[in-house]
Amino acid sequence: MKYHPEILKTLKKHYPQKGDMDLGSPADSLLATIMSARTTDAQVLKMFPSFRKKFPNWNTLAKAKVEDIASAMNTIGLYRNKAKSIKALSQKIITDHQGKVPNNMDELVALPGVGRKTASCVLSACYNKPAIAVDTHVFRIAHRLGWAKGKDVVKVEKELAELVPQKSWSHINRTFVHFGREICKPGKPLCYKCPIASYCAYPNKTLEP
Ligand code: SF4
C-alpha cells in the first residue's frame, strides 16, 4: 500500500468545491445525507427546499405522521424507510440532545438511520472534525489506488485512517466523489485523463478512450 501526498493535493486543486450534501447547517446536512442513500445527490437537492418548507425544524418532524414525511420526499429512493428514521431521529435529537445535532461519532451513530458514513460527512462538513466518509466512490478508488484491500466499508475506513494523515481525512470523500463521477468511474475508469495516474496502483488502466 502506498500513500503519496501528491494524490490528495492534486485532487484538491481539481475539485475544490464542498460536498453536495454540505448544506451549511448540521440539521440540513444530516437530513440531506440520510436522504442521499441509494439516491442521486441531484434528486435530493431538487426536493430538499420544499421538504424543509413543510418541515422547517426538528419539532415539526418529530410531531408529523410518518406518511406525511414520506409523501414530502417520495421522489427519492427508499423514502418510506427514510421517513421512519427521520421522525425517530428528530424525536431523539429533541429528547436526548436539546434539539442540537451531536458533534461526535458515538452519539451520531446512535441516532436512527445514521451510519458511520453519514456521521463522518456531518462531522467533517459541519463541525470541522477529521473523519473519513467511505461511500461507493471512496471504496472503489481506495482499492484502485492500492490504499485499501478491505471487503467492507468499516475495514476500508480503518485502512485509510492508518495510511492517510489525519489532517487530510476530510478531503478524501470531498475530492473522491467528484473525481469518481468524472474520471475514476465505476466500470471503466478514464485513466488516460487521470491527473494522478502516475501514483496509482490499478493494474488495468485504460490507456485510450
Ligand atoms: S489511473 Fe485510473 S484507476 Fe487509477 S486513479 Fe486514475 S482513473 Fe482511477
Instruction: Answer whether 3 contacts ligand 1 (Cβ < 6 A).
Output: no
Of the residues 100, 135, 155, 185, only one is catalytic, namely 135
143 lies in a domain? yes
Per the annotation, the verdict on 135 as an active-site residue is yes
206 lies in a domain? no
* Sequence-distant (≥ 6) Cβ neighbours of residue 28 within 8 angstroms: 48, 52
What is the tens place of the pLDDT at every residue in 27-72? Answer: 999 999 999 998 999 999 999 999 999 999 999 999 999 999 999 9
Per the annotation, the verdict on 117 as an active-site residue is yes
Q: How confident is the model at residue 128 (pLDDT cuts 50, 70, 90)?
A: very high
| Other beta carbons less than 10 A from residue 42's beta carbon | 9
Instruction: Answer whether 183 contacts ligand 1 (Cβ < 6 A).
Output: yes
Q: Residue 38 sits in a domain of what CATH number?
A: 1.10.340.30
Centre of ligand 1 to C-alpha 75, Å, is 33
3-state SS of the chain: helix, strand, coil percent to 5? 60, 0, 40
* Sequence-distant (≥ 6) Cβ neighbours of residue 91 within 8 angstroms: 62
190 CA: nearest ligand 1 atom: 7
Tell me the C-alpha distance between 10 and 159, whole Å: 21
Q: Which amino acid is at 39?
A: T
Q: Residue 145 sits in a domain of what CATH number?
A: 1.10.1670.10
Kindly state whether residues 49 and 115 are assigned to the same domain.
yes
| pLDDT given for residue 2 in this prediction | 79
Centre of ligand 1 to C-alpha 171, Å, is 17
What is the tens place of the pLDDT at every residue in 162-197? Answer: 999 999 999 999 999 999 999 999 999 999 999 999
Name the residue range of residue 80's domain: 26-126
Mean pLDDT across the chain = 96
Tell me the C-alpha distance between 83 and 113, whole Å: 10
